[in-house]
Amino acid sequence: MLILLKTILKGLIFVNSFEKIYGIVRKIPRGKVATYGLIALFAGNPRWARVVGYALHSNPNPAEIPCHRVVNRFGKTSGSYAFGGESRQRELLEGEGVVFLESGNVDMEKCLWNGEESASSTQAVEGI
């Protein structure tokens, strides 16, 4: 009975964590990217980078949760076929205005999301 309860609680924690992660990823604006570690930090645990990866791998709604906007700490896109092909993530990002370096990595100086919901909301706050 105790083992069953622990398993259920562990599952609930992951579901809750995944929802928190999805909520953060939804906020990344077009033209920006975030790292797995940054999403983990915003979710409340900077050691959750792998959990972020697991959550995005099981993304229940790719149309609303733009997991293609999450890259590794070097700005490297996923080498997997998670987005419909090896270069699909890059195509999606370039279509949103994300800039890539000659190395093939995202230009993190220009495109790293700072946690603000959008440039327009930042301007609105600065104008107050």
CATH of the domain at 80: 1.10.10.10
Q: How far apart are CA 69 and CA 89, in angstroms?
A: 8
**Given CA atoms 19, 75, 27, 31 in this order, what sign does their dihedral have?**
negative
Provide the residue range defining the domain that includes 12.
Answer: 2-126
For 103, phi and psi rounded to 5 degrees?
-70, -15
| Number of other CB atoms surrounding residue 124 within 10 Å | 10
Catalytic residue (choose from 67, 93, 98, 111): 67
DSSP secondary structure code for residue 19 in this structure: H
Q: How far apart are CA 70 and CA 56, in angstroms?
A: 9
Report the number of distinct structural domains present in the chain: 1
CA distances in angstroms from 69 to 6, 10, 75, 83, listed in the order given: 34, 28, 10, 11
Q: What is the pLDDT along the chain (128 residues), one digit of tens a residue?
A: 545 444 444 444 455 889 999 999 999 999 999 999 999 999 999 999 999 999 999 899 999 999 999 999 999 998 776 777 778 999 999 999 999 999 999 999 999 999 986 544 333 333 32
State yes or no: is 67 an active-site residue.
yes
DSSP alpha helix (H) spans, the chain: 2-26, 36-42, 49-57, 88-95, 108-111, 119-126
